[in-house]
Chain A
Amino acid sequence: QKEVEQDPGPLSVPEGAIVSLNCTYSNSAFQYFMWYRQYSRKGPELLMYTYSSGNKEDGRFTAQVDKSSKYISLFIRDSQPSDSATYLCAMTRMIYNQGGKLIFGQGTELSVKP
């Protein structure tokens, strides 16, 4: 079983739709939860991060973490064609002086149609 599971899609939605992207994980020690966006043949771009459980909002993006269910979500409101990309969830636990290697989901490919 993978530590982080993410539906690879592809997911296709019309412009203006609300998009819901999700990941589940098995390691209860994870503390920080991130969402990255990766355009084709580019490096991942950090979108949002959340520490422990709760919600975080940034413009059209909302990240949710439910540690009791080991489930995280990213919502995109009023989706735009420019949001078309692969979205990667990632998580880590920080260990003093050992850093925090990121464990990634497989990524969900999103296409927003005009």
Chain B
Amino acid sequence: NAGVMQNPRHLVRRRGQEARLRCSPMKGHSHVYWYRQLPEEGLKFMVYLQKENIIDESGMPKERFSAEFPKEGPSILRIQQVVRGDSAAYFCASSPWGLAGASYEQYFGPGTRLTVT
């Protein structure tokens, strides 16, 4: 049973370029969370999605960042016009269905390490 898959594992972008990060949840999971881990900081929530719906985007920066989870295919976190401050590890976590929509259990992928030069 494959775990959460993320690709690419490492991504280098120049300032002003776009970054696309992909996340395939565990089999049977239809809930995806994205988190960001900045150097010397803890993991910070960004967005929570169900298939074709953004449920909670309270942690997303207001500009340049967007996320989607289409009916078919992986969830994508998109960062437009990247800046050096976007350099971080981006993790997605998937969750099975639970009484509150999603379960409290979240299983993390290996992350994508974004470096902006």
Answer whether A and B are interacting partners: yes
Q: Which residues of B contact A42 (CB under 8 A)?
A: 110-111
Task: Indicate if B45 sits at the interface (CB-CB under 8 A).
Answer: yes
For residue A94, which residues in chain B have a CB less than 8 angstroms away from its CB? Answer: 98-100, 102, 104
A49 CB–B CB distance under 8 Å: yes
A56 within 8 A of B: no
Report the separation of the CA atoms of residues A42 and B4 in the bound assembly, to the nearest whole angstrom: 12
Asked whether B61 is an interface residue with its Cβ less than 8 Å from the other chain, the reply is no
Does A99 lie at the interface of the complex (its beta carbon under 8 Å from any beta carbon of B)?
yes
With A43-B109, A43-B110 in contact, is A98–B101 under 8 Å at CB?
A: yes
Within 8 A of B (CB), among A30-55: 31-32, 34, 36, 41-46, 49, 51
Write out the residue numbers on chain B whose beta carbons fall within 8 Å of the beta carbon of A36. 108
Q: Could you tell me how many residues of chain B have their Cβ less than 8 Å away from some Cβ of chain A?
A: 31
Q: A43-B111, A88-B42, A97-B55 are in contact. Are A102 and B100 (CB under 8 A)?
A: no
Contact present for A101 and B42 (CB under 8 Å): no
Q: Which of B88-117 contact A (CB under 8 A)?
A: 91, 93, 95, 98-102, 104-111, 113
Tell me whether A92 and B104 are in contact (CB under 8 A).
Answer: yes
Residues on B lying within 8 angstroms of A by beta carbon are 4, 31, 33, 35, 41-45, 48, 55-56, 58-59, 91, 93, 95, 98-102, 104-111, 113
Can you sample 7 A-B contacts with CB below 8 Å? A42-B110, A46-B107, A46-B108, A99-B95, A100-B104, A101-B56, A102-B35
